[in-house]
Every structure is written in structure tokens, then in C-alpha cells.
Structure 1
Amino acid sequence: MTWKNVRLAECCEIKPPKSEAKKTLKESDLVSFVPMNNLGIGTPHLALEEDKALSEVTGSYTYFAENDVLLAKITPCFENGKLGIAKGLTNGVGFGSSEFIVFRTSNQLIPEYLYYYLLRPSFREQGQAVMTGAVGHKRVPKEFIEDSEIPLPLVEEQKRIVAILDQAFADIDKARALTEQNLKNARELFESYLQQVFSLSGDGWVDSTLADIAENLDSKRIPITKKDRVEGEHPYYGASGIVDYVNDYIFDEELLLVSEDGANLLARTYPIAFTATGKYWVNNHAHVLRFKDSFIQKFIEYYLNSISLEPYVSGMAQPKLNQKALNSISVPSVDSVIAKDIVERISALEDELNQVQRIYKAKLDRLDELKKSLLQKAFSGELTKRCNEVAA
């Protein structure tokens, strides 16, 4: 059976009027308040954490009611898929960001079916292509929303599709959570091994500082503002690694770069020490260190990534590891033979970790593709058709 395509403006009320709330509630009555941060990604559930008096929110905030569907219209929230269904609202009413688009479904369309339709990556891609406004403040046009056509089967068929997608997405989310935990466990195992290696110092290990074993080349760094950079083939390094590519270089040797500033100095979501090779440029957000031996350099890179730098970092709002603090970091000093042995053992385990990470990341990609495939099949009629064939 062929489904009819219907414009969203014809099967939904878009932006219901605030006057509804004023007719049913007193100014002092509480309503749910939902800022943009509380609109989820990949989940229909809103984070209902705050109530406000109706009088506080009727001005510039967006009104919605129980079972309305909310969609972020501004970049990057729209592209990221911020979307949800209003359920469990205080007094059945909510107000939130002025950047919400609110859909109220009709008797021919259920909210959950609309939610999955708006969740499709193809919908976001089409919307992104026609966004208007200044950079950083682009919004999806009203006309795109109103004119988007949704395949509209009977309500009972919509319910069947939603039930299938709910179960499939729940299973996929469980698989994703398990895979992400496995990724985390693998990383933590490697980090634990690093800490164990460096805590069991043996013969030939001498307490030292970075200033004693490395030459600091910070004075050679030159920052280039984004508008002054000329695109090229040479990596342009900052605190987090390569941030751009430029047409010239400062260094042409293997050196160790260490983050100078940024939240990652404390958060440690990615390495703060990393090796740069070839021809490249470094700005003033990464310290530059030269070592007499490549194995000693790699040994120190592993060591710095295994310890907390909190005692050396100043500033909490804007963490910074200045040159004086960097030079004072206590490090083990070893000869090249010891460094080579330890680096080779750590590198072997790191290679295994990288292989495991590639496997798990590939699985995460397949899970994402499975969701996309299910959504495509759901709105082409294939999903329930296949279920009917299996049932027969």
C-alpha cells in the first residue's frame, strides 16, 4: 500500500500560541523550564530539572505542552540532532529556548512517529543545506520545516513502526554502551600498565627534571592568527596537536611537544605530550622540547602522559603550564638502552590497544549505520513490509 506524503504544516500545528497557557494557568502556577542543554541528542526524553512561574517565562521563551515535539533550529544544535518529545511537564506546560521549533501533531500523526522522522540524518542534511543567517547563528528556515513532506500511513501502522524502532534502538544503544565501556576498559588497562612501569623504577633510574634532560625550544615558536595563515602542506601544531596546515615551517626534526594551556591539562581526555616529525610549524600553545636520543624522548612522552600535571598547572578557569613549571617537572632520567627496552615494551602494548580500538570503533560505526538504515526503511515502508513477510 502506497503512503501519502503530507507537508508538516498540514499535519502539525507548528508553534502553538502562548495564549493557551495563559487561559488554563494562573501567573503564579509552575511550569517546566527547558533550556537548550536539556534537549537531548538521540533520545526523545527531555531533562526536566527546573520549574518556573508562568509569569517568569511568557515573555521571550518558547511555549509547548504535553506530547509536543521539540526541534532545535539553530546551528550547531540542529545538525547535532537536538530533538525530543515533551512528556511529564509540570501542569502539562513547558517553556524553553527561543531556538526551539514546536510541533503539535494531529489525529492523523503520533508524536513518536514524527520524532523518528525528524531524527533521520537525511532530514538534517537537507535542512543544513538551506540554513540562513550569520556564521554561528544560522537557522533552518520556516519554509523548509513547513514544506518538508512526511510519509503518512494509518495511525496503527505508525504505532507498529514506532514499536519496532523503539525496540531496535534500545538494543543498539545497549550494544553501543557495552562497546564504549570496552573501549574505556582497554584504554584504562594501558594507562594502568604505564603507571606500573614508571612506578617500578630500577637500576639506572635517576631522579631529574625536564630542564636537566631536554633543551627547551619555546623561543623559536611563532603564532599565526587564523586570518594570516596561508594554506599549505605543513602541519600547524597547537596545544591539542595539529590544528591546521600552512605553507611554511619552523622545525624540520623530531621533537616532543607538550600542551601549554587548555582544559585538557587537567581533564586528560587526550595526550598532553606528543611527537612531531618532518617539517612543521608550532604556535605558542605547545612547548617544544629537544632530546639527545629518540628513545629517551619517547620514554619521556610516555611518562608525561602517565602522570598528573596538576601540581605544575596554574589557573583553574584557564589552566596553564608555563615554561618555568614545565622545566621543573620531576622525571626519571635513564640511558638510551633502558629507555629503548621500556619504549619497545610499551609500544607493543600500545599497538595491541590501537588494534582493539579500531575494532571497537568500527563496531560503533556499524551501529550508527544500522540506525540510519532502520530509519530509511521505516519511512519507505520496508520495515513493516519485511516484518509482515516474516510473520507470514
Structure 2
Amino acid sequence: MSKWIEGKLRDLVEVNPTVKLIKGEIYPFVSMDVIQPFYKPVEAKEEREFKSGGAKFENGDTLFARITPCLENGKIAQVKNLKNGKGFGSTEFIVLRGKEGITDTDFVYYLVTNKSFRENAERLMVGTSGRQRVDKQQFEDQIISIPDLETQKRISSILGSIDKKIELNVEMNKTLEEMAMTLYKHWFVDFGPFQDGEFVESELGMIPKGWEVSNVGSVTNIFDSLRVPLSNKEREKRKGIYPYYGATSLMDYVDDYIFDGTYLLVGEDGSVMKEDGTPYTQYVSGKFWVNNHAHVLQGTNGVSTEWLKVFFDNCNVAPYVTGAVQPKINQKNLKSIPFLLPPQNVRQEFNKNIKNLYEKILINNKENVQLETIRNYLLPRLLSGEIDVSQAEKQVEEVL
């Protein structure tokens, strides 16, 4: 029987532990936007000079978003693969780590990811509407209940094995997407299969004879009029099994869906463009809901939705973005983006090749949804003692 311990968070978990960084040195930097909602690992995508500010952390530490709406959207992750083991990041992170002899560092991640912990943190927010932050003192003083250290390690091992499989599928999909992009560039940037044919001038430069420069509007069906935004309060009342997407990522799960099928989501406003000028895209399939911050597209006129995905992932949309304070790609500008359209036989062959890759991606995505469902079912029950740890270990072994 597990022995449970109750106490203040700061007495059981290291909150913003001391990490010594040298001023003026270059370290890995983790920004808020690289954290994917409800996805465990995060790696630094850049390096910056450390001046003085920002959250400081080490490999294995949990980064907990303390600002709205990042906390509500599930931006909590465990940092990994930091060069030399240390880094820093956004000032809006609370850094958490296991306390020696009391808490397991991996368990701490699951403790603070649990819905009841997140909801309590939301109640500790202070400040003006729209820029509220978790009050640090109240956060550290909240009372938590945890099992003994050995049980913590068993729980984090159970849930960690599920998250590891999810991570492997995500990495596999990254490889498949890289293969898809390589294929796209070979056909439509380098014109590899068509080098022996005749080329002609166009507004996009030299292109194979018989091809035409069209636009995105001619090869897409746009379903923006079907979108319905839901506020945080509305979503809280409508919890369910259907994914709810925003401009850049999955934000929540709700009790109904608007769309059923395979679609491409392209960020419309707010976060619309990455540093390299390409738009934020999401390739989604099944039953889901979308707010009004992402365009909802499907391919048409012999162009598949998968083709649209690699096209946009290679497209500089900077000239089509309006608004300095609130960047936006409106529907008119989106439709006007030039699109290189080959003859029908070429379209059919490329669609066949690109769809084969994305079919594998969809299989991995579906498996991840199932794994997330299992993990989300086990997480609160293991942390409350409702489910026996030995029973959960057997269940997960059967699934994996």
C-alpha cells in the first residue's frame, strides 16, 4: 500500500531551482511558441546570449506556462537535449524539478500536467484581463498530495512509456514530412523529372512547357464560413472527445464537431507566419472543431490536400500578410498566392506519391490519439490512487 504525503508544493517540489548561467555567454533558449500543448518533450530551437532575465533550467526540468491563455491551452513540457545541459527561456515559465528524496523529476511533470492541478493554477491567476499570470507565492503555497517516491517512479514509468511511444510516432511523422517536402521540391522547384523537356518563361521563372501559373484560389475549397469560435468558458462547459484547433495547434477537446474528413488548417491571424516566412499549417483528419483563427482548406481541381500541405510549408507568405499589430492573412490574399499547376497526368502521379506518405502519417496520428486517450484516463486516477499501479502497468503493457 502506497504511503501518501501532503504538504505545500514548495516543500515537496523544487520551484524555480537555482541554475547558474554566465552573463554574456550563449545558451539554448526555449520560447513559449515551441511548446506544443499536451506534448511532453521540448527542445531548444535557438541559442541566445544570456543577459540576466528569463527562466533558467536544466535537462529534465518541467516548464510550466504561468500566463493566460498558454496555461489553459496546456503549454507544459519537460525540457530535453540542452547543449551542455543548461538553458534559459521565456520569463513566463515556472520551472519545476523533483526534490531529492521526496519527489521524482519525471513524476513532477505528470503531477502538474494533471487537470486538477492546472485548474487550481488557473484559479491563482492575478492581473488584468487578457494578461493574467499565476501568482507565484500562492502557487508555491498550494497544498498537494503525492504518493511515496517508489510509487511516483512507477507512475512516471507507466505514463512515460506511453509518452515515449507518442514521441516516436511524432518523430516518425517528421521524417515522413521531410520525405514529402523533398519529393515536392524535386518535382516543383528543381523540376527533376522534367529536365529533358522544353521550358518556357513565366512570372515564376522558367517552367516546363504545358504548365500554367494559377493561384491558390483555383485549387482549394475554403470552408471558413463553417468555423465557430468558443471561448475558454464555453469550452470548459463543453468538454468532450473532439479536438478543438486554433491558428497554430490543438487547443482543447470539446463535445461536438464541425468538420469530418481530412483538411489543411492555415493560420489566419495572430500567429500566422514563422521566422522563415512560411505559414503555420496543421494537417488534420477525422471529426474536429476549428475556431476562427485558422483557414480551413481542402484541395480541388486535381490538387490533393496533401499537396497543399507541402506547398504551403514551402511558401513565403510574408508579402500576403497584413497588419503590423495583429498580423493576418485574409482570404482574398490567400487565394491570390501563385500556384504552379502541371498537366493532369502529372497531378495524378504526384498526388499518388504524396498521399502514400501522408497515409502513414495519418496512421501514426490515429495511434497517438488512442495513446493520449489512455494516458489521459490513467493520469488523474493514478495520481489520486483510484487505480492500482500494478493493474495500470499490466494494462499499458498490453497496449504497447
* TM-score for both structures, normalised by structure 1: 0.49
